[in-house]
Chains A and B, each alone.
Chain A
Amino acid sequence: MATLTEQTLAAARDGLATGDFSAVELTRAHIAAVEAARPLNAFITETPEKALAMAAESDKRRQAGEAGLLEGIPLAVKDLFCTEGVLTTAGSHILDGFEPPYESTVTANLWRAGAVMLGKANMDEFAMGSSNMTSFYGAVESPWRRRGDNRPLVPGGSSGGSAAVVAARCALAAIGTDTGGSIRQPASFCGIVGLKPTYGRCSRWGTVAFASSLDQAGPLTRTVRDAALMLRAMAGHDAKDSTSVNRPVPDYEAALTGDIRGLKVGIPTEYRVDGMAAEIDTLWQQGIDWLRQAGAEPVEISLPHTRYALPTYYIVAPAEASSNLARYDGVRFGLRVPGDNLSEMYEATRGEGFGAEVQRRVLIGTYVLSAGYYDAYYNKARRVRTLIANDFARAFENVDVVLTPTAPSAAFAVGEKMDDPIAMYLNDVFTVPASLAGLPAISVPAGLSGDGLPLGLQLIGRAFDEETVLKVAGVLEEGASFTAEPAFIAGRG
């Protein structure tokens, strides 16, 4: 059955269309892969019965001539998306037992397109983390290993479970969310493609909120084409999210022409940060060469406020989080820890229900929003955010896309960096600026580190120009011809 799970989403779509296999057969193979991959701890909830029922319905629709864009395709869903009647935890103890009575818009769009849900993927608690180690449900192990070293590695985060299952061939694709790099960094660590669309491209309705001005859903896939297929099904205007944008959803796959002749690719000087591994710099230069060979023109650009992006993010995101997480109070859903009065019940519930990193961010957020500090921290950060967005706007007057590394290093070992929050935050140094500016960005697997771990390159585009981002990503993918495989692939002996 391995051939069914090791193909791309696009190949599975074609195989289903020509009747080589049914959605039920494809789903059965993936359910077996999900079971085989349990040692990775990549799922919080597996939904095999639901998957088989959805697959059977899918086969019926296809027979009736009503196949959708993702008809019969088995997917994993980050456990941040509310799924009707299926446990949704956000990786937190505080959402114990929460079964949403509604479906998030993005997942509803996927099911309407015919996709099948395999389960809910593990993640950093409330999407706060870059390692998947903050999950109440335990760390996820990457399917990758360093050459000659069997120590478990992190898959990255916060969409760590989503990235691990796609890399380990347990799902044809997964969805995640990206607030400061939570799709792109795990994609880079796991050797797969991760796309964060423009803010507003996908509805946030029914997705557990972390930082509402930054959160955006997107796909994690094994190829650029698969990301294009997924985004088309996920995106679209939603009256229930006032920040979702009402503009047509293009056929992203049609943008993958491979023709980037004459396109200008910005190379930002400020992304050559101190202490960046030489192999990352070398890979970046290779990426520039691949695009040049395909007829694009690399252009040195300046994004002068880049170094202020991370500190800005670590004011804006915790501020919004502290406000969003106020709703977890033991009254309407999830965990309740008793107290003698209402206030004590709130404090006991939140003190026990939130993990250390979430508490740290709620405290930071509360502090920067508190009387006397609001202007000095929060408003200051919002002003710097404007400067960062202006940097990109100016750059995009002269270039069509920006090429950078995705992360400053390859994956690290489980347990590392947990004692120093700032060292962990630095993982997002290259992904956070595009998040603050709301721009679409993709990570493409481009090469291996000296010890055999995947490294990604990032492309950032103009707002709502995912088509150019995907087109250039396709060329990058071809140039890199990344064929390395993780140590663990589900379903192989």
Chain B
Amino acid sequence: MAVDKATVAKIAKLARLRVPEENLDGLAGELNNILGWIEQLSELDTDGVEPMTSVVAMTPLQRDDTVTDGGRPEDVVRNAPEAVGGYFVVPKVIE
């Protein structure tokens, strides 16, 4: 299935990426090339094959349900473009 300009705009919206209108056509072409190339997987019969979840068989370790880190609000917000009083500041979201 071919990706058109409107689909690229829709995916870009889902990905929260601002893509200038004039780039949509070019991107649609590139994505179609890549998806067309990926399409060769469909010739493989994978019925009954388990999708891989982990390359290395391992049993997750259990640990006590206790706090191991924290209490460092200054560290958490230190790199924020805008922070006030230990909070991240974002544009107003409530009218």
Contacts and interface: CB of A to CB of B under 8 A. Distances in A.
Contacts of B27: 360, 363
A312 B80 CA distance: 36
Contacts of A315: 38, 41
B19 A99 contact: no
Contact of A331 (B46, B50, B88): B88
Contacts of B92: 341
A386 B49 contact: yes
A382 B56 contact: no
Interface residues of A, number: 73
A367 B17 contact: no
B50 A386 contact: yes
Contacts of A263: none
A332 interface: yes
Nearest to B36: A422
Contact-residue bracket for chain B: 35 or more
A198 B53 CA distance: 16
A144 interface: no
Q: Is the interface of B mostly helix, strand, loop or mixed?
A: loop
Contact of B91 (A245, A340, A422): A340
Nearest to B68: A239
A384 B12 contact: no
Given A341-B93, A386-B49, A463-B56, A312 B81 contact: no
Interface string A346-387: 111011101000011011101100100000110111111111
Contacts of B18: 347-348, 350-352
Nearest to B63: A239
B14 interface: yes
A120 B38 CA distance: 35
A363 B81 contact: no
Contact of A311 (B31, B38, B46, B88): B38
B66 interface: no
B14 A339 contact: no
Contact of A370 (B14, B55, B79): B14
Most B CB atoms within 10 A — which of A213, A359, A383, A437? A383
B84 interface: no
A322 B11 CA distance: 11
A307 B41 CA distance: 10
Nearest to B55: A438
A330 B19 CA distance: 17
A191 B56 CA distance: 30
B67 interface: no
Interface of A: 97-102, 198-200, 213, 239, 242-243, 245-246, 305, 307-308, 311-312, 314-315, 322, 326, 329-336, 338-348, 350-352, 354, 359-360, 362-364, 366-367, 370, 376-377, 379-387, 389, 421-422, 436-438, 463
